[in-house]
Amino acid sequence: MRVLLLGSGGFLGRYVAEHLLADPAVQLTALGRGDDADVRFDLSNGSPGALTRFLNAVHPGVVINCAGAIRGGARELTRHNTVAVATVCESLRRSGCGARLVQIGCSAEYGPSQPGSSTAEDAVPRPGGPYGVSKLAATELVLGSGLDAVVLRVFSPVGPGTPAGSPLGRLAEAMRRAMQSGESELKLSGLGVQRDFVDVRDVARAVHAASLSAAQGVVNIGSGRAVRLREAASVLARVAGFGGALHEIDAPPGRVPAAAGHIPAPAHPHGTAHAHATVHGHAPAHAQAAAEHGGVPGGAGNATTYPYPDGCGSWQQADVRTARDRLGWRSRIPLEESLADIWMEAACRI
């Protein structure tokens, strides 16, 4: 199977490429802006004609689009996330290759959810910011293109390579600095938000499964379990061996901040667990998410709040039954393992 991967240099794209290269039946060509791409091409500025000629030359059976932007103004986000996808769709329509398109979407397309609910693919999207709007517009272009296509709405990817600007990336870095300097406490803020974390390696498996499937429309990719950022911070402290205290400076009334040395591990869901780079191939919906309505660490002496720009409010949890039924996929890697891998990378900088 010949596969053309767009955006192979980003957080998700790197793991998708690695997973596909492990399949001897896949012949992979990477197209992107970076030097590591097999062919350099900027989707946001390139013409459909040029991409069509390339498609006709390579003749892929599957095109996977992991490219896009996570930060910037509305104009920049539209150019990288919407206009670029319009170029891909138009090029595929013009081409004679008949390739299947796997588009990477994100949970920011849904916008805020009711706490306690699971968001299914038929939920009415109400994105709360320009990023989600630009990604939703891209999804609508794909769904209306008439192509053999599927959109994977990835919730909050984590794991090795998690961008330093994401909530968990910043938390790991703050913890590393505290341990390196011998500080006995870490002050945190904004830990009340809950997100559906899914390991990036599980996302790569989902992309591969979607490439081989006949599924069309939108498919959620997540763990199916919302986890409070406070709980993730506690587990990260435990796997890091941080012996100090975690002080949540904006804890709700009556709640006692937890000490890192006395934090229980969370229960794992069944089978569980998209930095300030403007252009990604695909960064997390939570690294774009870089710290939603809340934020994470300050240092030991202060706490800084970083607003999440994903516009998803305090809660997101995926209904993942469609992925199970139509892709034969479910998440496998528990969040604790993802956090341990994030910490291993941070610890290497000590």
The secondary element (H helix, E strand) that includes residue 93 is helix 84-94
As a whole number of angstroms, the distance between CA 304 and CA 215 comes to 43
How is residue 189 written in tokens? 């803020």
> Which pLDDT band holds residue 350 (cuts at 50, 70, 90)?
low
As a whole number of angstroms, the distance between CA 188 and CA 313 comes to 19
Percent of the chain predicted with pLDDT > 90: 67
Helix and strand element counts for the chain (H, E):
10, 15
- Of the given ranges (183-187, 238-242, 297-301, 334-338), which has the lowest mean pLDDT? 297-301
> Which pLDDT band holds residue 347 (cuts at 50, 70, 90)?
confident
Residue 7 has pLDDT above 70, yes or no: yes
Structure-model confidence comparison of residues 42 and 277, the more confident one: 42
* Long-range pairs for 93-96: beta carbons < 8 A, 24 or more residues apart: 93/145, 93/146, 93/147, 94/48, 94/49, 94/52, 95/52, 95/55, 95/56, 96/56
> Which pLDDT band holds residue 253 (cuts at 50, 70, 90)?
very low
pTM of the model: 0.85
Per-residue pLDDT tens for 159-196?
999 988 888 988 999 999 999 999 989 888 878 899 99
Per-residue pLDDT tens for 191-219?
889 999 999 999 999 999 999 999 999 99
How is residue 173 written in tokens? 């870095």
Structure-model confidence comparison of residues 295 and 277, the more confident one: 295
